Structure 1
Amino acid sequence: MAASRIVHLALKVDDLDYATKFYEQVFGFKQIKTEHKRQHTSRHLTDGHIDFTLVQYDNEDHEEALLSGPGPRLHHYGVSVDDQDEIAEKIRALGGEILSPPGSGALKFRAPDGTIAEIVKEGRYSIE
Structure 2
Amino acid sequence: MSRIVHLAVKVDDLEEATRFYTEVFGFTEVKTGRNRQHISRHMTDGHIDFTLMKYDSEDAHEAQLAGAGPRLHHWGVTVDDQDAAAERIKQYGGEILSAEGEGALKFRAPDGTIAEVVKPGRYNEK
Normalising by the smaller structure, the TM-score range is over 0.9
Amino acid at match of 1:54: L
Distance in 1 of aligned mates of 2:95 and 2:37: 23
1:101 is aligned to 99
Q: How many angstroms does 1:122 deviate by?
A: 0.2
CA distance in structure 2 between the aligned counterparts of 1:24 and 1:77, rounded to whole angstroms: 20
Identity %, equivalent residues: 69
Work out whether residues 46 and 127 of structure 1, in 8 Å CA contact, stay in contact via their aligned partners in 2.
Answer: no
1:88 is aligned to 86
**Equivalent pair of 2:5/2:125 in contact (CA under 8 Å):** no
SS in 2 for 1:88: helix
- Residue 28 of structure 2 is aligned to residue 30 of structure 1: yes
Runs of 4+, deviation exceeding 4 Å? none
Distance in 2, Cα, partners of 1:39 & 1:90:
29
Q: Match of 2:111, SS?
A: coil
Amino acid at match of 1:20: T
Give structure 1 stretches of 5+ with no counterpart.
Answer: none
**Matching of residues 1-80 of structure 1 within 5 Å:** 3-80=1-78
- Which AA in structure 1 matches 2:119? K
Unaligned stretches of 5+ in structure 2?
Answer: none
- The question of whether the paired residues in 1 share the 8 Å contact of 2:58 and 2:64 is answered with yes
Deviation at residue 20 of structure 1 after TM alignment: 0.1
The letter of the residue matching 1:63 is H
**How far did 1:37 drift?**
1.9
Q: TM-score, normalised by structure 1?
A: 0.97
Supply the distance in 2 between the matched residues of 1:106 and 1:53 (Cα, whole angstroms): 14
